[in-house]
């Protein structure tokens, strides 16, 4: 945004302007007041374009805020905001994939540990059985 992006602004309660600011001469206050009369009382955001200027209104809890700027001043800001939004969405996707990869890795590690432990127990059982067979064959039963 440039140095002269904000041309006119005001705060109003209902249709009564409480405070206003401008450093420029023009009919900004009359245009803004006309638009203020047409605003609904519901909490919302509105934008009106008139004479190459954009009037942005925010209505909340009975108070209205208006800022007027030259049309197109915030287009670059909007493009940057869209780029930032897309980058954040990509980042969230990557984080989600990383979390899924981590969970899958943990599950696979546990599965491999259990398989390894099962093989070790089977080998231990075979060794014990072989030792028992050798002892029984050498001693002719349990008469050693």
User: By the 8 A CB rule, do 28 and 7 touch?
Assistant: yes
User: By the 8 A CB rule, do 12 and 35 touch?
Assistant: no
DSSP class of 42? S
Helix, strand or coil for residue 48?
A: strand
Q: Look at 4 and 139; give whichever has higher pLDDT.
A: 139
> In angstroms, rounded to a whole number, what is the distance separating the alpha carbons of residues 74 and 47?
12
Q: Look at 85 and 2; give whichever has higher pLDDT.
A: 85
Domain that holds residue 19: 6-73
**Do residues 29 and 86 share a domain?**
no
Percent of the chain with pLDDT over 90: 24
Does residue 1 belong to any structural domain of this protein? no
**Do residues 91 and 127 share a domain?**
yes
Report the range out of 75-79, 121-125, 135-139 with the highest average pLDDT.
121-125
Residue-level pLDDT at 120: 98
**Do residues 61 and 87 share a domain?**
no
**Do residues 81 and 116 share a domain?**
yes
Note the pLDDT tens digit of each residue in 97-125.
Answer: 988 999 999 999 999 999 999 999 999 99
The average confidence (pLDDT) of the chain is: 82
> In angstroms, rounded to a whole number, what is the distance separating the alpha carbons of residues 87 and 34?
40
Residue-level pLDDT at 1: 42
Of 73, 92, 124, the domain-final residue? 73
Which residue's entry shows tokens 């009037």? 55
**Do residues 43 and 100 share a domain?**
no
Report the range out of 78-82, 122-126, 129-133, 135-139 with the highest average pLDDT.
122-126
- Cβ neighbors of 7 (< 8 A, separation 6 or more) are 22, 23, 24, 26, 28, 53, 68, 69, 70
Does residue 93 belong to any structural domain of this protein? yes
Residue-level pLDDT at 19: 82
User: By the 8 A CB rule, do 8 and 67 touch?
Assistant: yes
Residue-level pLDDT at 2: 45
Q: What is the pTM of this model?
A: 0.45
Does residue 144 belong to any structural domain of this protein? no
- Give the domain CATH number at 37: 3.30.450.50
Of 56, 73, 90, the domain-final residue? 73
Read off the pLDDT of each residue in 53-70 and give the average, rounded to a whole number.
Answer: 82
Read off the pLDDT of each residue in 125-129 and give the average, rounded to a whole number.
Answer: 97
Give the number of domains in the chain. 2
**Do residues 42 and 87 share a domain?**
no
**Do residues 103 and 125 share a domain?**
yes
Of 45, 73, 101, the domain-final residue? 73
Phi (first) and psi of residue 65, to 5 degrees: -120, 135
Which residue's entry shows tokens 């009369």? 37
> What is the chain's Cα-based Rg?
38
């Amino acid at each position: 945004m440039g140095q002269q992006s904000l041309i006119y602004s005001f705060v109003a309660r209902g249709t009564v302007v409480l405070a206003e600011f401008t450093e420029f001469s023009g009919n900004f206050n009359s245009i803004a007041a006309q638009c203020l009369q047409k605003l609904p009382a519901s909490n919302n955001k509105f934008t009106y374009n008139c004479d190459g200027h954009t009037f942005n209104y925010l209505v909340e809890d009975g108070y209205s805020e208006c800022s007027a700027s030259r049309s197109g001043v915030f287009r670059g800001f909007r493009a940057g905001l869209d780029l930032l939004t897309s980058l954040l969405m990509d980042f969230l996707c990557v984080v989600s994939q990383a979390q899924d990869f981590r969970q899958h890795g943990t599950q696979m590690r546990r599965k491999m540990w259990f398989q390894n432990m099962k093989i070790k127990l089977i080998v231990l059982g075979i060794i014990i059985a072989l030792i028992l067979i050798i002892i029984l064959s050498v001693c002719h039963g349990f008469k050693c």
